[in-house]
Structure 1
Amino acid sequence: MIPAGNRRSKIRPPRKSLVSSSLESSTTDPTVDYEKSWSILSNAIIQIQNKSVSNLSYEQLYRKAYILVLRKYGGKLYDNVAALITHHLLNRRDYLVSLTDSEQFMKATLTEWDEHLQSMKFISDVLMYLNRVYVKEHKKLLIYDLGIQLFKDNVIKYSDDQVGKKIVEIVISEITRNRNGEVITTNMYITKLINMLELLVESGSGDIQFGENYYQSSFEPAFLASSETFFYRLSSEYVNYNLGTRYIQSTSKFIKDEESRVNFYLPESTYPKLNELMNNIMIKDKIDTILSLPYDQQGLSYLLQPVITNVIEGSNERYHIQDLKTLYDLIGRIDEEQGILRNKLKQHIIAQGEDLPKQIRRSLENSGEKRPNPATFAIKWIEAVLKYHEEFAVIHKESFYQDSTVSQAITYAMREFINVPPSARKDTNAVNAPELLSIYMDYHIKQIGKPSPSKEIDAINTSDSRDYVDIFIEKSIQFLRFIKDKDAFEAHYANHFAKRFLSSKSGSQVISSNNKMGIDIEELLLSKLGEEMGTTSLDKIIRMNKDIKLSKDITTDWKKLLSQSTKKELIDVELKICNVNDWPKSMVKDYKAFTSDENGQTSFIWSKQLRPTIREFEEFWFSGKKNDNKSLYWSPKFGSIDLRITYPSRTYDINLSTYAGIIMLLFAPQSTDNYGNLVSAFEENKELSYEEIKELTGIAEIDLKRHLQSIAVAPRSRLLIKSPMTKDVNDNDRFKLNEKFKSPSVKVKVLTVSAASSVAANAQTKVKTEQEEEADEVKANILEGRKLEVNAAIVRIMKSRHTLKHNELIEELTKQLSNRFQPSISLIKQRVEDLIEKEYLKRDEEASNVYHYVA
C-alpha cells in the first residue's frame, strides 16, 4: 500500500519551450477538441488502472490535461475522471462481492486497495496541473483524495454498505476467534484493513473532507458492541467456575491478552473505550461478588486464611501472594484508590480479629489449660495480634506494592477489633486490650526480674541478635500504638506497677538492654512509655516511682541503723513506703484498718515477733522531725515474710505472703525447757482451730481462708496439716504443723491461692473478690480521670474560642482527646452540664445549642 503522503507526483512540468509552443498553438487555434483529448486521457487512465503503463508518455498526457485546464475545461475533466474511476471501482466491487472465502476476500480487498492507491498516484501525476489550478480554485478534493473518496463510496459503502459490512463482520469474527484462544493467520490482513478504514474519511459540502472516518463511524461501534457481548459472556463463564481465584487468574490473563490484541490491531483512540468497557463488565460488575465468595469457593476469606492459620498454629503456610497481587492490579484498573479492596480487607480483618480470642482459648484448652489464667491468655493474644500484623506486612509489601492507603486500612481494621468498646465486652470472646497489654507487660517485667532467666528468655536471646528486653519493649510499644483508650492502659499499668512493687521481695531487678547490670527495667520502660505517650500522661506512675526510690533510700538508712543496734529482737525489713494519694485506691483504701484506733482497738493483730521492729522503725521514722507532718500506717496486705523453719527432715528457708507468715508465726515455739531453751515447735505440737486463728490474727475471713488454703491445702506447700483434709477451709477445721513436709529445694516459695479459686467458698456470702474490687476501682479511676480531662479540654477550647456550637465543640473535643480516648456523647453532655452548673459556661439565650465561655 502506498501511503497518502506519496500521492504527489515528482514528474516535472514540460520544458518552457514546449509550454510556449503549446500556448501558441492553443491561442492560435481557437478550437480545442476536448473529446479527442479526453479520449487520449481516458485511455491512459484505463491503462493505468489495468497496470499497463509502460507505453504511456507522461509528458504528452500532462500537456493534454494542461491545455484542457487552460481552455477552461477543468470542471468537465474533473467530472469525467471521477466518472471513469467510479466505473472501474464498481466493476472491481462486483468481483469482491463474488468472493465467499473470508481470508480470500480480505486479501483481495487489500489488493484492490493497494492497486487503486498506486493507480491514483499515477493519475495524480498526469493531472498535476488540474490539482494546482482548478481543484485549488474551486476547493475540490485533490485527485488522489478523490480516488480514496470514490473507493469508499463505490466499493465500501455502495449498495447499503455491502462490502463495508462484510469487512467489519469478518474482522470482528477473526478477532473473536483469537479472543477464544484460536490461532489465526489473518493478523496482518486485519491490521491493514483497519488502516484502510481509517483513511476513508467522510466528505461534506463542497467535497471537503471532514469529520469521522469509516473506522470511527462504522467499525468501532460494531466492534465495541460485539466486545460488550463477548465480555458479558466470558465473565459469566468465569463466574460459573464458582472459584474466586480462578476468576481472578482467568480475568487477568484475558485482559493482558486483550491489551496485546488492541495494541496490535487497533488505533490508540479505541483503547480507552474498550478498556473502560472491559473493566466495567469483567471487574467492576463482578469483583464484589468474587470477593464475597465463601471460603470453599475461594473468595477473599480463602486468600487471607493462611494469615490466621500461621498465627494460631505457628505454621508457615504459603500466602496467596500472586493471587492477591493480581487482585490488587485488577481493582486498580477501576479504582486507583483501592476503595473496594480496602473495604473488603477491613471486613475480613475485623472478622478474623474478633474470632482470634476464641481460637486462642480453644488452642490453650487443647494444650491442657482448661481455665487459662489472664497472663497466659494475654501473652498468647498479644503475641498473636503482633504476629498477625507481621503476616499482613508481608502481604502489604509483596502483593499490595506497599500502598499507604491499604496499610492505613489494615491498621484501622486491627485497631477496630483490638479496641472492643466496653458495652460489647459482655461477649465471652471480647477482650479488654488496655488491661491485657498491662498484664502482658507485667508478666515479662517479672520474668526479667527473676534471678535466673526463664527458658522463654533464653530462647529469645539465642534466636534473636537483640536482647530479650529490647524485643519485649519493642512489642509492647508496637501494640500500644493500636490501643485507642491509652488512659485505660495507664490506669491498669499503674495498678500492676503498684502490685509489682508492693508484692515483690525487693526492688525491681536492675538490668540493661544488653543484659548487663545497671539500668532499672521499670525506669527503662517508663522512659520508653514517656517517649510514646508523653510524660504528663504518666505523671501518677512517675510519682509512684519516686516513692519507690524514696523507699529504697529509707531502707538503706534503716539497715545501717539496724547493723549498729544491739537489740536482738529486731528483724531485717525491706520497706515500701507509699503516698496514699498517688497509689491505686483499691490497694490503699483500708490502710487505716490495721492500726489501733483512738480506743486502742484494732481488727488486725500483728505477731509479737514483729512488734518490736515496728515500734523501733516508727521511732526512726519520726526522729529528727523529718516526717513530723506525715502519718505512718502499717499494712500487711502486701509484701512477704522469709521464715526459717526446721522440720524433722531438714531446715527450709520459706518465703510466703505477710498474712501466711503471720499465721505460721502462731505455731512458733512459745515455751522453754528447764534450761530456758525454746522447745521445738514440733514437740509443742500446737493445734489451733480456724476460729482461734481468726481471733489471734484478725485477718479478714476471705483473706484468711485463702492463705490457709495456700499453706494447708496446696500439695507442694502444705506447711500445715488441716483436719479434716478437704479442699475448702471451713469454720470447724483444725490446723497443726506438718512434720512430714518435704521439698526438693531448701528454698521454698509459697504461692498464694488466687482469689478466683476461693470464689466458691465465698459464693454464698456474695462477697466480691479482691480482683473484682480492683477491677471496679480501676474502672472508676478511668471514668473519674476522663471526667477531669473532658472538663479541662472543654475549658481550654471555650477559653480560646469564646463561643461555639454544640457540634463544633464535640468535634474539637474529639480531635484533642483522640490520642487519649474517644469521649462518648453522653459523657460530653454530662461534663457540659457540669461546667454550666459551675458557671464556667453558659447557654445562649436564643440558641440552646450555642455555648459561651464565662470569663
Structure 2
Amino acid sequence: MDQGFELIDAAVTKLKRILEGKPEPAFGSHEYIENYTIVYNMCTQKPPDDLSQQLYDKYGGIFEDYDKHTMLPSIMEKHDEYMLRELSRMWDINKIMVRWLSHFFFYLDRYFITRRSLPSLTEVGMTCFRDHVYNNVHFNVKQVIIALIHKEREGQQVDSALLKNILDLFVQSGKGSMERYEDDFEKFFLQETASYYSRRSSSWILEDSCPEYMIKSEESLKKEKERVTHYLHSTTEPKLVEVVQTRLLVLVAKQLLEKESSGCSALLRDDKIDDLSRMYRLYHEIPKGLEPVAKAFRLHVTSEGNGLIKQAEDAATSGSVEEQVLVRKIIDLHDKYMAYVMDCFQNHTLFHKALKEAFEIFCNKKVAGSSSAELLATFCDNLFKKAGNDKSNDDSTIESTIDNVVKLLDYISDKDLFAEFYRKKQARRLLFGKFNDEHERSILTKLKGQFGGQFTSKMEGMVTDMQLAKDQQTGFEEHIKNGNTGKPKGVDFTVNVLTTGFWPSYKTSDLNLPLEMVNCIESFKAYYETKTKHRRLMWIYSLGICHLNGRFDPKPIELIVSTYQAAVLCAFNNTERLTYQELFEQLNLSHEDLVRVLHSLSCAKYKFLKKEPASKTISKTDSFEFNSKFTDKMRKCGESRYVPLPPVDDRKKVVEDVDKDRRYAIDASLVRIMKSRKVLPHQQLVSECVEQLSRMFKPDIKMIKKRIEDLISRDYLERDIENPNTFKYVA
C-alpha cells in the first residue's frame, strides 16, 4: 500500500504542478497506463490485501487537502473581481483534476463504487470543492457578483463570461438541485433588483412623461432578459421579470396611467399609437396587468361618447335632434377606437369588452327626449331615403354604414324599440317609393344574422309585399288589356296590396271618392276576386298619392297630392264654389282631417283654392273656390306630405305598442322557464327571465313582478304554501 500510494502521490504532484503552470512535461500515454495499472493491481488483490477502500479514501483525501491548503487560501487573499477570477481559475483546476484523477482511479468507478453504491469519483471531487471552498467563499462571492451587476446596470462593462462561470458553480454545487443557487445567490439578487428598480421607479415617475417612463421600463426589461441569456440561469428569468414588472409597472400603474398630460387618456386623445402599443406590450405580460389599462380605455371612450351626447343635447333645437350628425360622429368614434383595439391592443378580449361597456353607457342615453333607438332608426331612414333618391351614391359606402349601424344597435338595450321605429319609417319609405331594394334587403340580412329571424320577420314581410305588389300590378294591367274588366277611362291606377300582419296599423275612413276613383277600385276588386276568394281588401285612402291635371288659366300643371287632397280638388270639377259644410257632407271626412286638407290647399305654399274670408285658419263658415289664376314655374308641383296620417314617429304610440309587446314577451319567458323547471325561487326566476330577454330589451324588474302576479291570478303559476317566495308551475 505504501509503495502504491507513493507512486500515486508522485503522479498527483506532477498533475498539480502542470495545473498551476509550473515547468513540468505533460503526461505521456505510458504514464497514464502505469498509474491506471497501479490502481488496478491494488484493487484486484485478494482480501485482506484488496486496497479498494483505502484508494477510495485516498482519492477523497487528495481533493480535501488541495482544496483546504491550496485553493481556499489563494481565493481568500483576493478581493472584488480578482476574487471571482481566482475562484473561477480554481474551479476550472478542480474540474481538470477530477477528470484526470478519475481516469487514474477508473477501476474504482467500474467495480468497487458500483458494488458499494458509493458516490462516484466525479461526485467526490465536486463535493470536496463545495464543502471546503464554495461554502467558505459563496457569501463574499455573491456580494461581488451583485455589485458587478449593479455596475452593469449603471452602464459599465463587466466580464459576462466570468460571471457565467461563477454562477455555474452555484448551480453545480447543488448537485442536480437548484436549491444552492436559489438560496445562496438568487434570493439576494432578486431583493437587490427590487430595491434598485424601486429607486429607479420613484425617480422616473416624477421626472418623466408616461411614454418616456415606458420606454425606460421596456429597455430595462429587455436588458434583464439579456442578462439571463448572458450569465444568469434560465430559471431566474420569470422571477426576475416579475420583480422588474412589479416595481416598474404594477406598483405605479394608477399613477402612470393617470398622468395628467401624458397618461393613457392623453395618449388616446393624441393618437399616440406607438406608445399605446408599448403600453399593451408591457402590461400584457403581467397577470391582470391589462385590467387598469382597459379601465382607463373604457373611461376615456365613455367620456368622449358622453361629450358627443352633450354636444347633440346643446345643439338640439326645440326638441329636434340632428341625428345624422350625432350618429355619424358615434360611428366615427367607434371606428377610431375599434382600430385601437385591433392594432394597439392586439384584438384582446378585455379591450373589446371595455369598448362595448363604454358604448353601452352613452349609446343608451336620451338626447332631447329622443331615445337612441329612435335616433338610430331615423338615421337609417334618412340614409335610405337619400340613397333611394340619389342613384349616384356609392354602394360600398352605404354598405359600410349599414355594418356600423348594426354594430351600434348591438350596444343599444332597447332593440325592440328600434325595430318598431324602424318598421314604421321603413313602411313609409316603401309606400312612397323612396327606397333602394338592395339596401333594404342588405340591412335586413345583417340584422337577421345578428339578432335572429324573429327580429326582422315583419320588416322582411313588408319588402316582400312590395315585390308581390309589383307582380300584382302587372297582372292587373294584363287583365285589363285582355278586356276582362273595364279599364277606368283616362286614369292610370296602381295598387299596393299589403299583408295586415306585417305593416303598422293605419287610419281608415269612409271617404266618398270621386266617381273616377270608385270605378278604379271596382275594377281592381273584380280582378282580385279572380285570384283569391279568402282575402278581404280594406282600402286605406290615407296612404294614397294622386297625380292630377290642373287646368289653370296661365298653363296646365300636374299636381302631386294625397288622395284626401285629390278628393277635395275633384269636388270642384263641376262647380266653382263650395262651402266648408258642403265639402264636409260631400266627402264624409272627419272635421280634423278636412281642416288639415283644406289648410294645405288654401293656406300653404301652393294655394290651389281661394278661401273666403282670407285667413290662416279654417272655420266651418268658410267658403272655397278653385284658384284658376294659380301658376308655378315648374310643370309639376304639390306637397303630398300633407297626407293626413298620424305622424310616423308618434313616439308615445310606438312606446305604448312596444310596452304591450314586452308584457307578452315577459309572460312567455316566465311560462317557458317555469314549464321546464316546475319549481323555482323568486330571485332565480327573475334573473333567468332577465337573461332570456336581455338580447332584445332590458326588462324592468317591477314589470316582471307584476307579470308574475298576473300569471298567478290566471292560474299559470302558484306560490308554495310553505315558502311564499317560491313558485310552482301549474300544469
The answer to whether the aligner puts 1:167 opposite 2:141 as a matched pair is: yes
Classify 1:702/1:263 alpha carbon distance in 2 versus 1 (closer, same or farther; 3 Å): farther
For each residue in 1:53-83, what CA deviation from the matched residue of structure 2 results, as whole angstroms up to 9, or x when unmatched?
A: 6279775899599879939866588558634
Q: Distance in 2 between matches of 1:471 and 1:126?
A: 83
For each residue in 1:272-318, what CA deviation from the matched residue of structure 2 results, as whole angstroms up to 9, or x when unmatched?
A: 22122223222332334433444x2231x233336xxxxxxxxxxxx
Other-structure match for 2:376? 437
How big is the shift at 1:348? 3.4
| Matched letter for residue 424 of structure 2 | N
How big is the shift at 1:264? 1.2
Classify 1:633/1:298 alpha carbon distance in 2 versus 1 (closer, same or farther; 3 Å): same
| Matched letter for residue 248 of structure 1 | M
The answer to whether the aligner puts 1:266 opposite 2:186 as a matched pair is: no
Q: Secondary structure at the match of 1:822?
A: coil
Classify 1:270/1:635 alpha carbon distance in 2 versus 1 (closer, same or farther; 3 Å): closer
| Matched letter for residue 188 of structure 1 | A
How big is the shift at 1:416? 4.9
Contact 1:705 1:729 in 2 (8 A): no
Other-structure match for 1:400? 345
Structure 1 segments unaligned to the other structure (5+ residues): 1-25, 27-31, 202-208, 307-318, 514-520, 596-605, 672-685, 756-768
How big is the shift at 1:226? 0.6
One of 197, 200, 214 as aligned partner of 2:170: 197
Other-structure match for 1:831? 707
Other-structure match for 2:385? 446
For each residue in 1:94-126, what CA deviation from the matched residue of structure 2 results, as whole angstroms up to 9, or x when unmatched?
A: 5314xxxx4444434433443454456556666
One of 235, 256, 268 as aligned partner of 1:304: 268
Other-structure match for 2:426? 497
| Matched letter for residue 834 of structure 1 | D
The answer to whether the aligner puts 1:794 opposite 2:670 as a matched pair is: yes
Contact 1:659 1:699 in 2 (8 A): no
How big is the shift at 1:487? 2.2
Q: How many residues align?
A: 712
Q: Distance in 1 between matches of 2:426 and 2:233?
A: 73
Q: Distance in 2 between matches of 1:723 and 1:261?
A: 100
Classify 1:556/1:293 alpha carbon distance in 2 versus 1 (closer, same or farther; 3 Å): farther
| Matched letter for residue 447 of structure 1 | K
Classify 1:793/1:164 alpha carbon distance in 2 versus 1 (closer, same or farther; 3 Å): closer
The answer to whether the aligner puts 1:93 opposite 2:97 as a matched pair is: no
How big is the shift at 1:195? 2.0
The answer to whether the aligner puts 1:750 opposite 2:639 as a matched pair is: yes
TM-score, normalised to structure 1's length? 0.68
Q: Secondary structure at the match of 1:653?
A: strand
Q: Secondary structure at the match of 1:458?
A: coil
Q: Secondary structure at the match of 2:558?
A: strand
Classify 1:265/1:754 alpha carbon distance in 2 versus 1 (closer, same or farther; 3 Å): farther
How big is the shift at 1:785? 0.7
Q: Secondary structure at the match of 2:187?
A: helix
Q: Distance in 2 between matches of 1:545 and 1:409?
A: 37
Other-structure match for 1:236? 202
Contact 1:382 1:479 in 2 (8 A): no
Q: Distance in 2 between matches of 1:70 and 1:629?
A: 120
How big is the shift at 1:378? 3.5
Contact 2:36 2:106 in 1 (8 A): no
For each residue in 1:768-800, what CA deviation from the matched residue of structure 2 results, as whole angstroms up to 9, or x when unmatched?
A: x96598211111110111111221232233333
Q: Secondary structure at the match of 1:297?
A: coil
One of 556, 568, 584 as aligned partner of 2:504: 584
Classify 1:84/1:321 alpha carbon distance in 2 versus 1 (closer, same or farther; 3 Å): closer
The answer to whether the aligner puts 1:82 opposite 2:2 as a matched pair is: no
| Matched letter for residue 433 of structure 1 | S
Contact 1:799 1:853 in 2 (8 A): yes
How big is the shift at 1:334? 1.5
| Matched letter for residue 787 of structure 1 | R
| Matched letter for residue 494 of structure 1 | R
How big is the shift at 1:321? 3.6
How do 1:614-763 and structure 2 match up within 5 A? Answer: 616=519, 637-645=542-550, 650-657=555-562, 670-671=575-576, 704=595, 708=599, 712=603, 717=606, 743-750=632-639, 752=641
One of 782, 789, 809 as aligned partner of 2:658: 782
How big is the shift at 1:819? 3.5
Other-structure match for 2:45? none
Classify 1:800/1:618 alpha carbon distance in 2 versus 1 (closer, same or farther; 3 Å): same
Q: More displaced, 785-794 or 102-111?
A: 102-111
Q: Distance in 1 between matches of 2:477 and 2:109?
A: 121
Q: Distance in 2 between matches of 1:147 and 1:523?
A: 85
Classify 1:269/1:711 alpha carbon distance in 2 versus 1 (closer, same or farther; 3 Å): farther
Contact 1:640 1:655 in 2 (8 A): yes
Contact 1:486 1:821 in 2 (8 A): yes
How big is the shift at 1:224? 0.7
How do 1:527-606 and structure 2 match up within 5 A? Answer: 533-538=451-456, 540-541=458-459, 553=472, 557=476, 574-575=494-495, 583-585=503-505, 587-588=506-507, 591-592=508-509
How big is the shift at 1:267? 0.7
Contact 1:636 1:658 in 2 (8 A): yes
Contact 1:41 1:61 in 2 (8 A): no
Classify 1:490/1:217 alpha carbon distance in 2 versus 1 (closer, same or farther; 3 Å): closer
Classify 1:128/1:554 alpha carbon distance in 2 versus 1 (closer, same or farther; 3 Å): closer
How big is the shift at 1:640? 3.7
How big is the shift at 1:39? 8.8
Q: More displaced, 619-628 or 336-345?
A: 619-628
Classify 1:401/1:582 alpha carbon distance in 2 versus 1 (closer, same or farther; 3 Å): closer
Q: Distance in 2 between matches of 1:94 and 1:546?
A: 97
Contact 1:42 1:84 in 2 (8 A): no
Contact 2:52 2:108 in 1 (8 A): no
Q: Secondary structure at the match of 1:584?
A: coil
How big is the shift at 1:825? 1.8
- Percent identity between matched residues is 22
Q: Distance in 2 between matches of 1:292 and 1:706?
A: 62
Other-structure match for 1:612? 515
Contact 2:719 2:728 in 1 (8 A): yes
For each residue in 1:230-254, what CA deviation from the matched residue of structure 2 results, as whole angstroms up to 9, or x when unmatched?
A: 1222233332245333333332222
The answer to whether the aligner puts 1:819 opposite 2:695 as a matched pair is: yes
Q: Distance in 2 between matches of 1:81 and 1:565?
A: 127
Q: Distance in 1 between matches of 2:534 and 2:454?
A: 28
Classify 1:175/1:401 alpha carbon distance in 2 versus 1 (closer, same or farther; 3 Å): same
How big is the shift at 1:386? 4.0
The answer to whether the aligner puts 1:176 opposite 2:150 as a matched pair is: yes
Contact 1:694 1:704 in 2 (8 A): no
Other-structure match for 1:760? none
How big is the shift at 1:555? 10
Other-structure match for 1:488? 417
Q: Distance in 2 between matches of 1:151 and 1:771?
A: 98
Taking only aligned residues, the RMSD between alpha carbons, in angstroms, comes to 5.2
Other-structure match for 2:51? 70
Classify 1:730/1:259 alpha carbon distance in 2 versus 1 (closer, same or farther; 3 Å): farther
| Matched letter for residue 284 of structure 2 | G
Q: Secondary structure at the match of 2:711?
A: helix
The answer to whether the aligner puts 1:54 opposite 2:24 as a matched pair is: yes
Q: Distance in 2 between matches of 1:250 and 1:736?
A: 88
Classify 1:723/1:259 alpha carbon distance in 2 versus 1 (closer, same or farther; 3 Å): farther
For each residue in 1:725-750, what CA deviation from the matched residue of structure 2 results, as whole angstroms up to 9, or x when unmatched?
A: 99x76989999988997654322243
How do 1:228-377 and structure 2 match up within 5 A? Answer: 228-241=194-207, 243-294=209-260, 296-299=261-264, 301-305=265-269, 319-335=271-287, 338-359=290-311, 377=322
Q: Distance in 2 between matches of 1:531 and 1:664?
A: 48
Q: Secondary structure at the match of 1:642?
A: strand
Other-structure match for 1:599? none
Q: More displaced, 407-416 or 254-263?
A: 407-416
The answer to whether the aligner puts 1:458 opposite 2:392 as a matched pair is: yes
Q: Distance in 2 between matches of 1:539 and 1:305?
A: 42
Other-structure match for 1:217? 183
Classify 1:270/1:508 alpha carbon distance in 2 versus 1 (closer, same or farther; 3 Å): closer
Contact 2:74 2:86 in 1 (8 A): no
